[in-house]
């Protein structure tokens, strides 16, 4: 744990011995770069079944209706565990939470590649295995954006969260585009099972990078200076001055703007998940 700085400084009054104004370090932007990479990897490892579907249906001797059951397992796990996933991130902190779920992504894509074929198992066992694994994939990916939003909230000053959130959203679409380009070529070379195993190290790389560099709060990071911590902290005193009379989740459920944003996001994701996945 990094020792607290005393006395507190502002962005403009932190002056080095030379007499110049101390400029904030840029650790927050490196944190954001890793978050963008994690978003990229999340969508790279979650969209593989959609792309591999034609090959896997033939190889595993499943019908399109049965494949629809498999594909429905991911959004079910994802929807059910987003709220618990956010609570999990709050409980253990963004550093540990993102590390653990990124490792889970890698493990689960390897497990998917090990699903038995029709020569070794019945259709019921193959189908049940795929549905269970895809449900767990949804569970493992569910916390990514609640925890990512908390990371941005902690590492960027109030009023400056839109750009980091937008860039991280750009990372996820690039991840899906990369999978759509890379995976078909890989499958044509080595088959879908080996292709999934080749993609797994991306999850481990994201987990290792985040655990190595990230911290739950700017004050805990050895590379941040007082000016950057003060910049990130600016405006938070007003945010936290009045004690909340209700839990945050209840205040959100009663907030009309939050409900309208949720409705619009639901409409967007209906198109995204039904048409594009």
Q: Which CATH number fits domain 27-233: 3.40.50.410, 3.40.50.10860, 1.20.1250.20, 3.30.70.2860?
A: 1.20.1250.20
**What pLDDT shows up at residue 8?**
43
pLDDT at residue 9 greater than cutoff 70? no
pLDDT on residue 276: 56
Mean pLDDT of the chain: 86
Per-residue tokens: 245: 């009379």
CA-to-CA separations, 32 to 9, 152, 157, 204, in angstroms, rounded: 24, 8, 13, 18
CB atoms < 10 A from the CB of 43, how many? 20
Q: How far apart are CA 212 and CA 206, in angstroms?
A: 10
- In the numeric block, the tokens 């795929």 are attached to 130
What's the pLDDT score for residue 200?
Answer: 95
- SS3 (DSSP) at 186: helix
For residues 42-47, give the mean pLDDT.
90
CA distance 60 to 56: 6
- Are 144 and 98 in contact, with CB atoms under 8 Å apart? yes
- Gap between the terminal Cα atoms of the chain: 43
Higher pLDDT, 2 or 115: 115
* φ/ψ (deg, to 5) at 156: -130, 145
Give the DSSP letter string of 203-260: HHHHHHHHHHH--SSGGG-TT--HHHHHHHHTTHHHHHSSPPSS-HHHHHHT-HHHHH
- Dump pLDDT digits (tens) for 75-128: 899 999 998 998 999 999 999 999 999 999 999 999 999 999 998 889 999 999
Q: How confident is the model at residue 266 (pLDDT cuts 50, 70, 90)?
A: confident
32 against 264, higher pLDDT: 32
Q: What confidence score (pLDDT) does residue 257 get?
A: 82
Among 192, 230, 189, 169, residue whose Cα is nearest residue 6: 230
pLDDT of 3 over the 50 cut = no
pLDDT of residue 176: 86
Distance CA 83, CA 99 (A): 18
Q: How far apart are CA 5 and CA 10, in angstroms?
A: 12
- For residue 17, pLDDT over 80 is answered with no
Cα(255)–Cα(247) distance, rounded to whole angstroms? 13
Q: Are residues 220 and 5 in contact, defined by beta-carbon separation less than 8 angstroms?
A: no
Task: Give residue-wise pLDDT tens across range 146-198.
Answer: 999 999 999 999 888 889 999 998 998 899 889 989 999 999 999 999 999 99
In percent, the amount of the chain with pLDDT more than 70 equals: 86
∠ CA 247-251-253, rounded to 5° = 120
Residues in the chain, how many? 277
Kindly state the helix (H) or strand (E) to which residue 64 belongs, with its residue range: helix 64-92
The three-state secondary structure class of 118 is coil
């Amino acid at each position: 744990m990094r020792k607290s700085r005393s006395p507190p400084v502002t962005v403009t009054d932190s002056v080095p011995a030379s007499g110049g104004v101390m400029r904030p370090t840029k650790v927050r932007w490196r944190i954001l770069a890793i978050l963008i990479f994690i978003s990229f990897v999340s969508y790279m490892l979650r969209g593989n079944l959609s792309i591999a579907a034609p090959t896997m249906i033939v190889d595993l001797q499943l019908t399109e209706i049965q494949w629809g059951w498999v594909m429905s397992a991911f959004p079910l796990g994802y929807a059910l565990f987003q709220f618990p996933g956010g609570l999990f991130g709050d409980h253990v902190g963004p550093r540990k939470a993102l590390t653990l779920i990124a490792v889970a992504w890698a493990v689960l894509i390897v497990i998917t590649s090990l699903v038995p074929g029709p020569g070794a198992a019945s259709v019921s066992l193959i189908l049940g295995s795929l549905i269970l694994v895809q449900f767990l994939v949804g569970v493992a990916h569910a916390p990514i954006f609640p925890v990512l939003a908390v990371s941005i909230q902690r590492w960027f000053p109030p009023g400056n969260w839109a750009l980091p959130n937008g860039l991280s959203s750009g990372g996820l679409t690039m991840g899906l585009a990369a999978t759509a380009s890379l995976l078909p070529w890989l499958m044509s070379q080595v088959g879908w099972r080996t292709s999934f195993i080749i993609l797994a190290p991306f999850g481990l790389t994201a987990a290792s990078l985040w655990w190595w560099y990230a911290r739950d709060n700017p004050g805990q990071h050895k590379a941040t200076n007082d000016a950057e911590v003060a910049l990130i902290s600016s405006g938070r005193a007003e945010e936290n001055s009045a004690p909340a009379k209700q839990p945050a989740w209840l205040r959100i459920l009663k907030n009309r703007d939050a409900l309208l944003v949720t409705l619009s996001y639901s409409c967007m994701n209906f198109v995204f998940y039904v048409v594009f996945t």
